[in-house]
A and B are shown apart, each in its own frame.
Chain A
Amino acid sequence: MRALALVTATAALVGCGKSEPPPFRLNMTNVVAKQIAPEHQQAIANILGAMFGSPDEPVALKETGLDQIKLDMAAGPVWSDKVGTKHGLYRRHCVHCHGISGDGRGPTAVILNPYPRDYRPGIFKFKSTYTSAEPTTADLMKTLHEGIPGTAMPSFALLPPDEVAALVEYVKYLSMRGQMETALESHVADELNPGDKFDPANDPAIQKLVMQDLLGPIVEAWGRAKDQVIAPEDASIPQDNRSPQELAASVRAGRDLFYGTRANCVKCHGPTALGDGQQDDYDNWNKATNEFIKATDDKIAQIDSLKADLAKAQGDDATQIRQQIQDAQKEFTERHALVSRLLSPRNAIPRNLREGVFRGGRRPIDVFWRVSSGIPGTPMPASGPAAEGAQGTLTQKEIWQIVDYVHSLPFEPASLPQKRPINSSEVSTGE
């Protein structure tokens, strides 16, 4: 029976250890695609660590304008021994989809369609700003508040406002960190040779470069977002007291645009507006995956052709080609190891416009923003101007006509869609 005590003790030992605090991880597809040397990877991780801290201890650098108190609330492990402190919100609500580094690769991600957002490129789909601008805080709040109907993103409206604010701040933080990482990686890949030192701590010039040239534009873009909101001109906004005839006219104009070549909504959303047009396109995130996979496959072809060259080559040439083969094979091995871990690409399915539920909201202004600035990162293009004062494909008046048309589409129960084309006689005008 002495063995009994032994077994119990062993069981207790195995169970009681703590996991290591999780680190942020580098974007390995980018690192491998850019062939960044291990010492430079380490340097990038060090710089990011110094600027942004770790998932357990985030740093709100003064230059970023982030709020340290909010970050502390959102970061860290869920379970805290300290009584009454709010802690670990991100890991309680978000991490299993969006991942510890905000890369959209949490464990749950693989079963979702569409995949959860990767924050690192700083591209957000549903926002009130111009197509290439960052979203405003209010935009992110709205997404948290309403969720994204039609995806696995639920509403977090029941969280206290301070918790939602903390989470929004943390999303921005992850986004900035990801953009900074990409900037650093591009810099290293473009500017540095293997073996070059990259250590801002001991080199003021590099420090200035990192803080001003790389971080500067990122922070600036986020700061500028609130001035980039697309405000429809009063003149273009439809009157509240339109007569049914006026509304019908607007809907008819919208319908023409919908089927016409300029707006060409019909291409993807289909003649029935059920989202059954072109369905085989990809969004940016999946395109990147596709490209990575294709480049990996290309490596095989490259190695084969190099091998053919080697058979013909002699002397120094042969040595050089052998070196090239070795390099290509190394890259292929690295890429191949990553490919199996990527989320397999999924098509971007155009929205069914006849459910009355839109991912980015159903108010006319929401649909207006969707048409005007598009859905960044997806095949849905911006039809409005790309920036203040620029010329868009459509005028604001025309965008409002499309909004009217979309709102006039008859509802179809999601479970029983009728694949009838909608002719104008079926368009409901509220008469």
Chain B
Amino acid sequence: MKHFWAVLFLLVPIFGVLAFVLAPYYNHSFPRDISENGRVIDQLFYFILYLTGILFVATEGALFYFMWKYNGRTNREPVKYSHGSHTLEVVWTILPAVTLLFIAIYQMNAWADAKMRKPDVPVTAEITGRQFNWDVRYPGPDGILHTQDDIILVDGEIHFPAGEEVLLSIKAADVLHSFFLPNIRMKQDVVPGMQQYMWFKCREQKAEVDIVCAELCGWGHYKMSGRATFEPRSEFNAWLAKKYAEQQAHRITQATAP
């Protein structure tokens, strides 16, 4: 086959596009989005995906076409003795430059919403990453963190109120970690000695999602799983009250009995 290699290179855009088209049908795409801000990130991702997809098909297609058409074995025309084209260079410099600048400006707002415009609400909880667990500390009945009535949980089951802005103060106890909520499209590294904030709003009333550690924190990095439960404010408060009561246990209760 004279054009074997050209055809081989044609497979790249075909399979490349096919993979991204088919993956969502097998649940191999974004995990379910439950947040307000996540939608913007998803849209931006798809925008870039379509844009790069078009460029991908165009350039790979041109590569294939030239490989087919200008195959030395079949092309009988003399080669085009050309050292380049000033016009073309200008065109393919300006066009991508404008596009890239557009993307850069277009996304600034989403970035600011996600990382710069800290909402003016009290801190819902303080999360501490340690080797290899996510500990959470809720302010107790007095509403102030780091007092004796704090509710401290170390089992990785973290609850948040749904439908309202959640502000987390996150820290690291030993090494770098990264608090990653795939379903919220939110991620923040935590650095020992530094205080970070993270905020998001769950738009579903009830949801249970994974908490992932996304920054290498040692041999047990993969063990740092947690589960975030979102529930309406009333249920969240009830859950918090229950945890507070459990924490005050002086007796062998249902929860502590064998």
A284 at the interface (CB under 8 A from B): no
Q: Which residues of B contact A356 (CB under 8 A)?
A: 137, 150, 152
State how many angstroms separate the Cβ of B232 from the closest Cβ of chain A. 23
- B154 near A357 with CB under 8 A, answer yes
- Interface check A295, CB cutoff 8 A: no
The interface residues of chain B lying within 8 Å CB-to-CB of A149 are 130, 133, 135, 154
Contact B132 A154 (CB under 8 A): yes
Q: Are B135's CB and A152's CB within 8 A?
A: no
A155 touching B133, Cβ below 8 Å: yes
Q: Report the separation of the CA atoms of residues A193 and B199 in the bound assembly, to the nearest whole angstrom.
A: 72
Residues of A within 8 A of B248 (CB): 240, 363-364
Question: Least Cβ distance of B1 to chain A in Å?
Answer: 23
With a cutoff of 8 Å between Cβ atoms, the chain B residues found around residue A390 in the complex are none
Query: In the complex the two chains form, is A226's CB within 8 Å of B258's CB?
Result: yes
Known: A155-B155, A414-B173. A147 touches B133 (CB 8 A): yes
Q: Is the CB of A365 within 8 A of B154?
A: no
Query: Which residues of the other chain, B, contact A201 by a CB distance below 8 angstroms?
Result: none
User: CB-CB < 8 A to A61: which residues of B?
Assistant: none
Question: Does A368 interact with chain B (Cβ within 8 Å)?
Answer: yes
Asked if B226 CB lies within 8 Å of chain A CBs, one says yes
Q: What residues on B are CB-neighbors of A136 within 8 Å?
A: 258
- A128-B247 in contact (CB<8A): no
> A154 and B192 in contact (CB under 8 A), knowing A229-B252, A237-B251, A357-B154?
no
Contact B155 A137 (CB under 8 A): no
Chain A minimum-CB-distance residue to B153:
A146
Measured between alpha carbons, how far is A149 from B130 in the docked complex, in Å?
Answer: 9
Q: Is A108 an interface residue (CB 8 A)?
A: yes
Contact between A158 and B133, CB atoms less than 8 A apart: no
Q: Which residues in A have their C-beta under 8 angstroms from that of B251?
A: 232, 237, 365
Q: Among B131, B192, B223, which residue has its beta carbon within 8 angstroms of that of A415?
A: B192
Contact present for B131 and A152 (CB under 8 Å): yes
B84 within 8 A of A: no
Determine whether the beta carbon of A154 is less than 8 Å from that of B256.
no
Q: Which residues of B contact A128 (CB under 8 A)?
A: 252, 256, 258
- Using known A-B contacts A155-B155, A157-B155, A415-B193, determine if residue A365 contacts B133 with beta carbons closer than 8 Å: no
Q: How many residues of B contact A (CB 8 A)?
A: 36
List, in ascending order, chain A residues with CB within 8 A of B133's CB.
147, 149, 154-155
8 Å CB contacts to B: which residues of A353-372?
A: 356-357, 362-365, 368
Contact between B146 and A147, CB atoms less than 8 A apart: no
A111 touches B155 (CB 8 A): no
Contacting residue for B246 out of A232, A363, A411, CB 8 A: A363
Docked-complex contact B247 and A362, CB < 8 angstroms: yes
Least CB distance, A160 to chain B, in whole angstroms: 12
B220 contacts A by Cβ under 8 Å = yes
Known contacts: A145-B155, A357-B152. The answer to whether A154 contacts B223 by CB under 8 A is yes
Does chain B have a CB within 8 A of A430?
A: yes
CA distance A408 to B147 in the complex (A): 9
Annotate A401-431 by CB proximity to B: 1 below 8 A, 0 otherwise. 0000001101101110000000000001010
Kindly state whether residue A138 has any CB partner on chain B within 8 Å. yes
Q: CB distance A232 to B250 under 8 Å? A: yes
User: Is the beta-carbon distance between B257 and A138 smaller than 8 angstroms?
Assistant: yes
The answer on a CB contact under 8 Å between B193 and A138 is no
Closest partner residue, chain A, to B137 (CB atom): A356
Closest to A239 in B: B250
| Given A146-B155, A147-B133, A368-B250: A111 in contact with B219 (beta carbons within 8 A) | yes
Q: Does A231 contact B (CB under 8 A)?
A: yes
Closest A residue to B247 by beta carbon equals A363
Give A232 to B152 CA distance when docked, in angstroms: 24
B219, A108: Cβ atoms closer than 8 Å: yes
Give complex CA distance A64, B39 in Å: 56
Report the separation of the CA atoms of residues A240 and B219 in the bound assembly, to the nearest whole angstrom: 44
Q: How far is the CB of A411 from chain B (nearest CB, A)?
A: 5
On chain B, the residues within 8 Å of A407 by CB distance are 148
**Is B157 engaged at the interface, CB distance under 8 Å to the other chain?**
yes
Q: Does A22 contact B (CB under 8 A)?
A: no
- 8 Å CB contacts to B: which residues of A105-150? 108, 111, 128, 136-139, 142, 145-147, 149
- Is A363 touching B154 in the complex (CB atoms < 8 A)? no
| A109 to B: closest C-beta gap in Å | 11
Chain A residues, Cβ within 8 Å of B220: 152, 154
Verify A237–B227 contact, CB threshold 8 A.
Answer: no
The reply on B184 being an interface residue by CB < 8 A is no
Contact B192 A237 (CB under 8 A): no
Q: Is B224 an interface residue (CB 8 A)?
A: yes
As a 0/1 sequence over residues 62 to 100 of chain B, the CB contacts with chain A under 8 angstroms (1 = contact) are: 000000000000000000000000000000000000000
Given contacts A136-B258, A138-B257, A415-B192, contact A154 B252 (CB under 8 A): no
> Chain A residues near B241 (CB, 8 Å)?
none
Q: Is A365 within 8 A of B249, CB to CB? A: yes
**Does A392 count as interface, using CB distance less than 8 angstroms?**
no
Our pick among B135, B226, B247, B258 for the contact of A158 (Cβ within 8 Å) is B226
Known pairs A138-B256, A407-B148, A411-B147; list 8 more (Cβ under 8 Å): A111-B219, A147-B133, A154-B223, A229-B252, A238-B250, A357-B154, A362-B247, A415-B193
Can you list 26 residue pairs at the A/B interface with Cβ under 8 Å?
A111-B219, A128-B252, A138-B256, A138-B258, A145-B155, A146-B154, A146-B155, A154-B132, A155-B154, A155-B156, A157-B227, A225-B258, A232-B251, A356-B150, A357-B154, A363-B249, A364-B249, A364-B250, A365-B250, A365-B251, A365-B252, A411-B147, A411-B148, A415-B173, A415-B192, A430-B149
Binding site for A on B (CB under 8 A): 130-133, 135, 137, 146-150, 152, 154-157, 173, 192-193, 219-220, 223-227, 246-252, 256-258
A residues in contact (CB < 8 Å) with B: 108, 111, 128, 136-139, 142, 145-147, 149, 152, 154-155, 157-158, 225-226, 229, 231-232, 237-238, 240, 356-357, 362-365, 368, 400, 407-408, 410-411, 413-415, 428, 430
Which 6 A-B pairs rank lowest in CB-CB distance, beginning with the nearest?
A: A157-B155, A136-B258, A138-B258, A155-B155, A363-B249, A154-B132
